[in-house]
């Protein structure tokens, strides 16, 4: 990460970069899960209404397909809980943003301070669900673009 060392100057900058990347990552995951929760809820409501009409008006196997699809979507929603995952990522985003603000306002930008902030970052990370590697890379590259880096450090 030569760009980061040149641009930010210290290991402190590397730690702050990682904190900012984590905030972006969790924000992106939150948006993903909120969208997924919205699509699932809309699908359940819409298909339930259509199923009632189809069950009354139609005959044959179609009467049982739509309710089965509603049951399948509802079951997947109960298993994967996208709205709960969105809430988890929202909380993690807040923690990382607070840590970034704390680092920005800190007067002490030495290696020992960087190690303390790294320890705080790791404490926050231990509550995180497993990473999505694609979202992680996208967040890293977006932050590199925001800092005006060259392509040599892209993941």
pLDDT, tens digit, 9 for 90 and up, residues 2-17: 444 444 434 888 899 9
Average pLDDT, stretch 99-119? 92
Q: Note the helical H segments in 9-61.
A: 11-57
Average pLDDT, stretch 128-155? 76
CA distance 73 to 80: 11
Give the whole-number percent of the chain exceeding pLDDT 90: 50
CA distance 155 to 147: 15
Q: Is the pTM of this model over 0.75?
A: yes
Return the structure tokens found at 27: 């924000």
Answer for the pair 22, 96: CB distance below 8 angstroms, yes or no. yes
According to the model, what pLDDT value does residue 7 have? 45
Q: Above 90 in pLDDT, residue 136? A: no
According to the model, what pLDDT value does residue 42 have? 95
């Amino acid at each position: 990460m030569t760009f980061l060392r040149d641009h930010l100057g210290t290991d402190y900058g590397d730690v702050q970069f990682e904190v900012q990347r984590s905030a972006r990552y969790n924000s992106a995951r939150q948006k993903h899960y909120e969208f997924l929760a919205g699509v699932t809820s809309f699908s359940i409501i819409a298909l339930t209404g259509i199923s009632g009409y189809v069950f009354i008006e139609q005959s044959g196997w179609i009467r049982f397909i739509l309710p089965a699809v509603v049951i399948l979507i509802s079951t997947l929603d109960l298993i994967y809980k996208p709205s709960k995952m969105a809430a988890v990522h929202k909380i993690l985003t807040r923690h990382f943003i607070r840590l970034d603000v704390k680092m920005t306002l800190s007067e002490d930008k030495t290696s020992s301070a960087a190690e303390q902030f790294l320890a705080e970052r790791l404490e926050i990370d231990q509550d995180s669900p497993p990473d999505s590697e694609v979202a992680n890379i996208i967040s890293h590259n977006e932050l590199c673009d925001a800092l005006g880096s060259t392509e040599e450090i892209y993941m």
